[in-house]
């Protein structure tokens, strides 16, 4: 396995020296300073690449070139924006960076309702709570039609919680959802978020799939000859939010994406945490089925809340980030599948330990929620242990 690390650039509290000491050899990053929809120049790519190389590492995966909302909406001018997106990818290929992780989530990138949920051992993790989402949707955002998306029990509990929240707590929840999490592509005010949601009024899941299909049909012919590998990331969480459709959430969704363009350049990021939130996603089976098109791996784990009336009887409506070996996903089984894929290909797959808990010294200084140093180091070490144990067992 090829050990990589998400790095957010020179202002990341985790330095490149820290990354190297953690045992990673590759970096996953992006030019976050460039606005969405603008071209990534070769000079800027090479400057960042040289910075990484000077630390004894290499820029291995791009995460990500943001896909502008006009492309997701399929509105006038989307083709020109798709051409700029493809030109950025080709500039990366000129620098030897071939794998691009991207997502097609409308309006919001990955979403959580709490950034510093305190665990029993004092560590902090990310949490998504459906009732808190409903509270925000119903009583802070006040989205038209929101009431129809929640059952009676959820509505009542959201109203009860809202009544007990002070102004600071309401602001904190709003900022957590709208201000942009690490790696998110946009941040919004309440009015701006309402306006963005309004643009999707006539976009259902079927239409969003058509827009993803036309995007792939437009860019893949430009990128495939250069050897670029596109690796779409699953929705996070893998369900509709705020009435917005999501189309990269289930095994069926992945099957549909394969049919959108036959070229192998049309591939996937396998995120165990995102896909694993849904109990109906068989993670090892997804790995096996799409082995030829998986170009990047996010190995993290999530723990689903028990099924209850507040979850509409569905597991995973609320969840939190678990330690890498302690959630609902069987990490050992996933690593075993990954090693089989690598053996068939004859080369390792890049993975990164994702969304580690904040532990020990992480808690005594600034850290990006989900991207702590010690927590991710722990996850990387645990996965390395699984890999070495499985390889040892195979040779004895």
Residue matched to tokens 């201000």:
179
CA separation, residue 253 to residues 82, 100, 259, 262 (Å):
22, 19, 10, 15
Distance of alpha carbon 215 from the chain centroid: 20
Catalytic residue, candidates 261, 271, 295, 324? 271
Residue 308: how many other CB atoms lie within 10 Å: 15
**Edge-to-edge strand list for the sheet holding 319-322:** 114-118, 124-128, 319-322, 301-304
Q: Note if 117 is an active site residue.
A: no
Nearest to 363 by CA among 355, 374, 353, 378: 374
Helix (H) or strand (E) segment spanning residue 322: strand 319-322
Residue 358 DSSP symbol? B
Neighbours of 225 (CB within 10 A): 12
Q: Is 95 a catalytic residue?
A: no
Active site residue 125: no
- Catalytic-residue membership of 371: yes
101, 354, 362, 367: the active-site residue: 354
User: What is the secondary structure of 160-220 as a DSSP string?
Assistant: HHHHH--HHHHHHHHHHHHS--TT-S----HHHHHHHHHHTTT--HHHHHHHHHHHHHHHH
Tell me how far apart the alpha carbons of residues 339 and 347 are, in angstroms, rounded to a whole number: 10
Active-site entry in 298, 324, 357, 362:
298
Q: Which of 12, 125, 149, 233 is catalytic?
A: 233
So which residues are the catalytic ones? Answer: 233, 271, 298, 354-355, 371
């Amino acid at each position: 396995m090829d050990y990589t690390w998400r790095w957010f650039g020179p202002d990341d509290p985790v330095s490149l020296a820290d990354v190297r000491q953690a045992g990673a050899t590759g970096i996953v990053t992006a030019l976050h300073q460039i606005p969405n929809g603008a071209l990534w120049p070769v000079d800027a790519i090479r400057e960042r690449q040289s910075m990484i190389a000077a630390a004894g590492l290499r820029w291995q995966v791009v995460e990500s070139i943001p896909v502008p909302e006009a492309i997701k909406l399929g509105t006038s001018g989307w083709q020109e924006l798709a051409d700029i997106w493809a030109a950025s990818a080709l500039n990366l290929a000129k620098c030897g960076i071939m794998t691009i992780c991207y997502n097609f989530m409308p309006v919001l990138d990955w979403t959580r309702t709490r950034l510093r949920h305190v665990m029993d051992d004092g560590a902090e993790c990310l949490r998504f709570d459906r009732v808190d989402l409903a509270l925000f949707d119903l009583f802070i955002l006040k989205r038209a039609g929101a009431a129809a998306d929640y059952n009676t029990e959820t509505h009542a509990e959201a109203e009860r919680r809202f009544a007990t929240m002070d102004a600071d707590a309401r602001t904190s929840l709003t900022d957590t959802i709208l201000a942009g999490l690490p790696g998110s592509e946009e941040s919004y005010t309440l009015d701006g978020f309402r306006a963005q949601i309004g643009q999707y009024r006539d976009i259902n899941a079927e239409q969003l799939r058509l827009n993803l299909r036309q995007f792939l049909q437009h860019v893949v012919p430009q990128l495939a000859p250069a050897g670029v590998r596109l690796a779409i990331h699953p929705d996070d969480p893998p369900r509709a939010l705020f009435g917005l459709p999501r189309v990269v959430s289930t095994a069926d969704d992945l099957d549909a994406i394969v049919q959108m363009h036959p070229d192998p350049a049309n591939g996937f990021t396998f995120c165990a945490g995102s896909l694993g939130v849904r109990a109906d996603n068989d993670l090892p089976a997804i790995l096996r089925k799409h082995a030829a098109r998986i170009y990047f791996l996010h190995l993290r784990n999530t723990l689903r809340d028990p099924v209850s009336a507040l979850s509409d009887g569905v597991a995973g409506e609320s969840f939190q980030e678990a330690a890498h070996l302690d959630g609902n996903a069987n990490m050992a089984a996933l690593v075993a599948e990954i090693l089989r894929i690598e053996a068939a290909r004859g080369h390792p797959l890049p993975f990164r330990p994702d969304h580690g808990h904040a532990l020990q010294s992480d808690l005594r200084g600034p850290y990006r929620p989900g991207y702590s140093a010690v927590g991710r180091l722990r996850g990387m070490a645990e996965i390395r242990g699984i890999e070495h144990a499985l390889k040892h067992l195979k040779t004895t």
